[in-house]
């Protein structure tokens, strides 16, 4: 069934920055000129591209995610359509408030840079693939990562005592901890969304390094709330040794590190 589409400007609150959209209401359309970006305060939106006569779903964004930043940065037409999936309240950011937002919320700036870095890397891969082909052969497509692929996990794990949930570490040299981030296309090895009702954990909050028999914990750049190891706040980017039985805390989520 086709979803209803309402083309309106939403309803502004008294602060003139927050706008509410009904389910199915367009926030903006692909090809429109835009001078604002948006941060979701409540609800969900879907990002769509019009391809071969139909709208294709690219991503679903939720509270804390942002969109529309490319038009603000480059003063170019919108590259996609954004539609409210549920009743949604967004913060509208124009050029005059953009600088202050980056000062007040460095995590948004870091996520924006990660998003741009990922796009640049994908473009670089496409160019390298194109240069490696003959003139008549099309460049091979870069495969989309399979987010449902089975990840190889080790026996080491983090225990969330209040819920009893266990999160296994990756068998690789690094395990990222945070919350899924459809804006940047980055999904952590350990997603703490189910145990973080207050959304205190940043999208990329911390990382555990495996170095031989030892493990180290480090806080990621741009984290809004601190990372603690046995009650001590970690310095961003500086690894600290993590031992069995240690307690680490990301935001308000406390976890115990266990090794069988």
pLDDT tens digits for range 84-135:
999 999 988 887 677 677 677 777 777 777 777 676 676 677 777 777 654 4
pLDDT digits (tens, 9 = 90+) for 48-61: 988 888 888 988 99
Q: Which CATH number fits domain 6-104: 3.20.20.70, 1.10.3720.10, 2.40.50.140, 2.60.120.10?
A: 2.60.120.10
**Other residues' Cβ atoms within 10 Å of the Cβ of residue 203:** 25
Across 30-34, 47-51, 136-140, 231-235, least confident range: 136-140
Residue with tokens 């406390």: 254
Question: CA–CA separation, 208 vs 195, rounded Å?
Answer: 19
Residue 150 pLDDT more than 50? no
Who has greater pLDDT, 128 or 27? 27
**What's phi and psi for 101, nearest 5 deg?**
-60, -40
Distance from C-alpha of 251 to C-alpha of 233, rounded to nearest angstrom = 11
Q: Give tens-digit pLDDT for 4-25.
A: 333 445 665 544 579 999 999 9
What pLDDT shows up at residue 122? 67
What share of the chain has pLDDT > 70, as a percent? 81
Instruction: Answer for the pair 188, 177: CB distance below 8 angstroms, yes or no.
Output: yes
Q: Does 69 score more than 50 pLDDT?
A: yes
Lowest mean pLDDT among 41-50, 52-61, 227-236: 52-61
Domain boundaries, the chain: 6-104, 153-258
- The DSSP element (H or E) to which 205 belongs, if any, is strand 204-211
Residues with Cβ < 8 Å from 217, sequence gap 6 or more? Answer: 206, 207, 208, 209, 227, 229, 234, 239, 240, 241, 242, 248
95 vs 43, more confident = 43
Angle at 77 between CA 126 and CA 22, to 5 degrees: 110
- The CATH code for residues 153-258 is 2.60.200.20
Composition of the chain by helix, strand, coil, percent to 5: 15, 40, 45
Question: Across-strand partners of 258?
Answer: 157
Spatial separation of the C-alpha atoms in residues 36 and 94, rounded to whole Å: 5
d(CA 7, CA 208): 46
């Amino acid at each position: 069934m086709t979803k209803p589409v309402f083309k309106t400007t939403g309803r502004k609150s008294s602060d003139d920055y927050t706008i509410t959209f009904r389910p199915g209401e367009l926030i903006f359309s692909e090809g429109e000129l835009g001078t604002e970006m948006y941060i979701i305060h409540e609800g969900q939106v879907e990002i769509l591209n019009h391809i071969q006569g139909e709208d294709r779903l690219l991503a679903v964004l939720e509270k804390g995610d942002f969109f529309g930043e490319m038009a603000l940065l480059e003063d170019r037409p919108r590259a996609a359509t954004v539609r409210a999936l549920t009743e949604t309240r967004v913060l509208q950011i124009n050029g005059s408030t953009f600088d202050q937002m980056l000062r007040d919320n460095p995590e948004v700036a870091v996520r924006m840079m990660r998003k741009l870095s990922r796009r640049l890397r994908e473009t670089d891969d496409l160019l390298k693939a194109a240069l490696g082909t003959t003139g008549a052969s099309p460049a091979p497509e870069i495969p989309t990562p399979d987010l449902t692929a089975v990840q190889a996990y080790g026996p080491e794990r983090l225990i969330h005592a209040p819920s009893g949930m266990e999160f296994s570490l990756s068998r690789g040299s690094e395990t990222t901890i945070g919350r899924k981030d459809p804006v940047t296309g980055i999904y952590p090895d350990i997603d703490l969304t189910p145990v973080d009702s207050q959304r205190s954990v940043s999208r990329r909050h911390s990382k555990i390094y495996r170095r031989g028999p030892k493990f180290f914990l480090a806080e990621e750049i741009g984290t809004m709330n601190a990372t603690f190891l046995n009650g001590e706040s970690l310095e961003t980017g500086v690894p600290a040794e993590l031992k069995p039985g240690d307690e680490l805390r990301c935001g308000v989520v406390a976890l115990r590190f266990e090794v069988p």
